[in-house]
Structure 1
Amino acid sequence: MARQPQDLLHLLTRAERLAARRIQSVLDAFGCSVDAWRVLDLLSGDEGRTMTSLAEDAALPAPTLTKIVDQLVDQNLVFRRVDPADRRRVLAQLTPRGLRRRRELSRAVRAEWGPSVPGLTEDEEDQLLPLLGRLSGALADGSDRAGTTAAPAGNPVGRAR
């Protein structure tokens, strides 16, 4: 049976959208979007994150991330500060209120989600997560299985010239 890229894309997209819908139903009670929840979670470390790294890890365009961070700043969940290592860069970091909100949201999502990924055993989840991590890394690197970079061919489908 030949495996097609569109089959993988369809399954990943469907799983992500269904998972996001389920999580959004929990976050609605807190007036929080899935993207804002992801940003809060990505900011859970003490050191702060650059907007560039946040946008990349949240899989969001920079303008969208900026809007979300602006909203989180307005809610006193996030603050911005100058990066001491490079004063040209700005770091986003959780406020104490943001840390509490992140913990509160994480507890609510875990309560809905359960101890493991819905529909999978713990062993299956232990296999799936590293595989998805490897796939994400390979796609981010732009490499195919042979380790060569796949070049786009011709004009993109569905895009105006």
Structure 2
Amino acid sequence: MEITGTSHAPDLAWLLTTVERRLVTRTSAVLEALGGTLEEWRVTALLADGAGHPMTEVAEHALLAPPTVTKIVDRMVANDLVHRRVDEADRRRVLVFLSERGRAAHERFSAALSLDRAELAATLGEPELACLTELLAHLATRLP
């Protein structure tokens, strides 16, 4: 297998990093066209279930450090995309929920990313994209 710009067979980490960077760039462009960010997409995607989630879970899902997620959620609160509420079951915890405006943003983001995924599937082939997704999900759950 030859990759443009390389003189040797690429290793798995290099391939995964290259693909991740290209997908993040592509996804970010789709979201930026709607006034959103990748981080906001990840937060709204988690909160779309309506259950409310603690900040630690939001940080884990967004793949970001807790202080960074706090800044992002603060900005999202200021833009009326999410709101915080004390957890009734554990008053020491604060849960984050989507606002109505946040739910609408999530729906816009989701629709645009579905179209982008369809374009990606048309380019790569649906069976290949499905196989890649399944393999990566398997790898993500199996690696320590």
* TM-score, normalization by structure 1: 0.75
Q: Alignment length, in residue pairs?
A: 135
- Say what the alpha-carbon RMSD is for the aligned residues: 1.9
Question: What letter is aligned with 1:133?
Answer: A
TM-aligned CA deviation for residue 54 of structure 1? 1.4
Unmatched runs of 5 consecutive residues or more in structure 1:
1-5, 143-161
What residue is the counterpart of 1:127 in the other structure?
131
Distance 2:134 2:12 in 1: 16
Q: Aligned runs of 1:1-161 on 2, under 5 Å?
A: 7-114=11-118, 117=121, 119-139=123-143, 142=144
TM-aligned CA deviation for residue 29 of structure 1? 2.2
Kindly provide the CA deviation profile for residues 21-47 of structure 1, in whole angstroms up to 9, marking residues without a partner as x.
112222222322111111111111110
Distance 2:67 2:78 in 1: 17
Distance 1:40 1:60 in 2: 14
**Identical residues among aligned pairs (%):** 43
Kindly provide the CA deviation profile for residues 113-160 of structure 1, in whole angstroms up to 9, marking residues without a partner as x.
326546432222332222212211223xx2xxxxxxxxxxxxxxxxxx
Which structure: greater helix fraction? 2
Answer with 1 or 2: which has the greater Rg: 1
Distance 1:128 1:26 in 2: 21
TM-aligned CA deviation for residue 67 of structure 1? 0.8
What residue is the counterpart of 2:6 in the other structure?
none
Question: What letter is aligned with 1:62?
Answer: P
- Indicate if the aligned counterparts of 2:42 and 2:61 stay in contact, CA closer than 8 A: no
Unmatched runs of 5 consecutive residues or more in structure 2:
1-9
What residue is the counterpart of 1:154 in the other structure?
none
Question: What letter is aligned with 1:127?
Answer: C
Residues 54 and 118 of structure 1: CA distance in aligned 2, closer, same or farther (over 3 Å)? farther
Distance 1:70 1:111 in 2: 29
